[in-house]
Amino acid sequence: MNKAVIGLQWGDEGKGKIVDYLSENFDLVTRYQGGNNAGHTVIVENITYKLNLIPSGVIRGKVCFLGQGIVLDPDHFIQEYKKITEKITDPRIYLSSNIPLILNYHKQLDRINESILTGESKIGTTSKGIGPAYQDKVGRKSIKLYDLTNPHSLKEKLSSIKKFYDPILKTFDEDLIDIDKNLELLNNFFIQVKNLIVDNNVIKKDYFNKKILFEGAQGALLDLDHGSYPFVTSSNTISSNISIGSGLQVNYETIGIFKAYATRVGNGPFPSELFDKIGDYIADKGVEFGTVTKRKRRCGWLDLVSLKYSCEINNVKELCITKVDVLNELDEIKICKSYEGKQFQDINFSDSAYLSNCKLNGSDFEIFPSWGNIDGMMNYDQLPQNLKNYVNFIEEYLNLPIKIVSLGPERNQTILR
Ligand code: GDP
Ligand code: IMO
Ligand code: MG
């Protein structure tokens, strides 16, 4: 069966690590949304791989496909591709010819968008031009990879884009769009990647009866339609976007990934956020600093209310918990099980105003005792009973099995049940 690895929180759940772990048994690993706002760190035998666009299956030499639902920054892709070729010989990476590109004006517009918002209303984007690039896709202005084969229509497209955006760029003292510079950049880029570009039907035909692993980026609570709007990313991160974003109309089962606690980068509601030294402790021990922007991630207790919602909107069939080792030494560990007494059916997870004002109290949490050191444990039976109790509580609440427990960043620090 094909599988989808989906983050159930606000991103950085360890999707990259789990995709690498699972990809052994798959033929094709596919991204279907997001761009280089994603940052996935994978450690295999002491070698660290940092990936943004290229699916983690590349580490095992799997064929990787970037579907049309992503947005691709040409400069960034070339850099990432070069870096991976230093570690992996002849990576097999294909790009859908329908992929929309992120160009410099998208990054300028991302900056402008953020600059006109004040204080808490700022989104805190990764500044990679993601939102404006998706705006152009919906607004039918994208330059797509297939356009690079036709310099004449490319120039025409850039001319109308210039007419549309230059007045805004001028107002904000940004450089205006330079058509020749963009044409040159795109031409150089095309020369370097033209052998990687394929039409969707090629991948469809070649992988019709093969096993496909889908790699989600960001997390369900950052989904454009289902997350805490407007503090979301600009793509649909949930599993139902897979067919649209990959162009592959196949069945799959979803494994939902979550950390043993919660983190969020950027602004937006976070009901179980910790503002005390325990939050700082988790950030330090969990090395919770953004891969893309190096920002410190906000930390909080595991939130089962939003997790249950994420499981439902992703049609999750099984679960993976990561980073349980980070909580080892805490005297007590909490899990959020309601919001002001309310369960997930009674909450609108898009309504940021409600979520931001939500004040959790003692009865909204279940408390667990420490489970101590778990270093070197290689199977589930070895784990301390206190950790098993924690895992059982989550399984019962979510009514789903936890099939993978991750105890460290290395590929082999992973227990399959
Ligand atoms: P992604 O965006 O979901 O792929 O997650 P990131 O890679 O951005 O963030 C997860 C971080 O946690 C990475 O630095 C991983 O190396 C690390 N990590 C993954 N699983 C574990 C784990 O079980 N324990 C610890 N301590 N670190 C982990
Ligand atoms: P991975 O795949 C965590 C967040 C940003 C910001 C919001 C919108 O590593 O889990 P954007 O640049 O997408 O317009 O920013 O989304 N964000 C992420 N947070 N992990 C990510 O990806 C993220 N990608 C975007 O911090 O709050
Ligand atoms: Mg990440």
Nearest ligand to the CA atom of 114: 2
Nearest CA to ligand 1 atom 8: 12
Distance CA 374, CA 371 (A): 8
Q: Which of 107, 214, 222 to mutate to test the pocket of ligand 2 (most atoms within 8 A of CB)?
A: 222
For residue 12 the two structure tokens come to 């950085």
Nearest CA to ligand 2 atom 16: 233
List pLDDT tens digits, range 46-65.
999 999 999 999 999 999 99
What is the structure's pLDDT at 86?
A: 96
What is the structure's pLDDT at 301?
A: 98
Which atom of ligand 1 lies at the shortest distance from residue 17's CA? 19
Question: Looking at domain 3-87+206-416, which of 3.40.50.720, 3.40.50.1820, 3.90.1150.10, 3.90.170.10 is its CATH number?
Answer: 3.90.170.10
- Identity of the residue numbered 274: L
Q: What is the phi/psi pair of residue 353, to 5°?
A: -65, -45
Q: What is the mean pLDDT of residues 233-256?
A: 97
Mean pLDDT of the chain: 97
List pLDDT tens digits, range 289-304.
987 878 899 999 999 9
pLDDT more than 90, % of the chain: 98
What is the structure's pLDDT at 292?
A: 80
The pTM of the whole model exceeds 0.85: yes
What is the structure's pLDDT at 290?
A: 82
SS3 label, residue 327? helix
Q: Is the pLDDT of residue 217 over 90?
A: yes
For residue 60 the two structure tokens come to 């095992």
Check pocket membership of 223 for ligand 2, CB cut-off 6 A.
no
Q: Which of 5, 9, 12 to mutate to test the pocket of ligand 1 (most atoms within 8 A of CB)?
A: 12
Nearest ligand to the CA atom of 19: 1
What is the greatest pairwise CA distance in the chain?
Answer: 67
Check pocket membership of 125 for ligand 1, CB cut-off 6 A.
no
Ordered by start, the domain boundaries in the chain are 3-87+206-416, 104-194
Long-range residue pairs from 75-83, CB within 8 A, at least 24 positions apart, any chain: 75/185, 75/189, 76/36, 76/52, 76/102, 76/128, 77/36, 77/53, 77/189, 77/193, 78/189, 78/192, 78/193, 80/36, 80/51, 80/52, 80/53, 80/54, 81/54, 81/193, 83/50
Check pocket membership of 323 for ligand 1, CB cut-off 6 A.
yes
Q: Using the mean position of ligand 1's atoms as its centre, give its distance from the Cα of residue 17 in Å.
A: 7
Catalytic one of 20, 27, 40, 325: 40
Q: What is the mean pLDDT of residues 377-389?
A: 96
Q: Using the mean position of ligand 3's atoms as its centre, give its distance from the Cα of residue 217 in Å.
A: 8
Q: Using the mean position of ligand 2's atoms as its centre, give its distance from the Cα of residue 105 in Å.
A: 20
Which atom of ligand 2 lies at the shortest distance from residue 292's CA? 9
What is the structure's pLDDT at 199?
A: 97
Distance CA 193, CA 170 (A): 33
What is the structure's pLDDT at 295?
A: 87
Q: Using the mean position of ligand 1's atoms as its centre, give its distance from the Cα of residue 148 in Å.
A: 36
333 close to 365: Cβ distance less than 8 angstroms: no
Active site residue 225: no
Check pocket membership of 326 for ligand 1, CB cut-off 6 A.
yes
What is the structure's pLDDT at 415?
A: 97
Q: Is the pLDDT of residue 17 over 80?
A: yes
Check pocket membership of 126 for ligand 2, CB cut-off 6 A.
yes
Q: Using the mean position of ligand 2's atoms as its centre, give its distance from the Cα of residue 34 in Å.
A: 9
Check pocket membership of 12 for ligand 1, CB cut-off 6 A.
yes
Distance CA 190, CA 72 (A): 13
What is the structure's pLDDT at 293?
A: 79
What is the structure's pLDDT at 291?
A: 77
Q: What is the mean pLDDT of residues 200-204?
A: 96
Q: Domain 104-194 belongs to what architecture?
A: Orthogonal Bundle (1.10)
Nearest CA to ligand 2 atom 15: 125
Confidence of residue 70 (pLDDT cuts 50, 70, 90): very high
What is the structure's pLDDT at 316?
A: 98
Q: Using the mean position of ligand 1's atoms as its centre, give its distance from the Cα of residue 259 in Å.
A: 9
Active site residue 364: no
Q: What is the mean pLDDT of residues 16-31?
A: 98
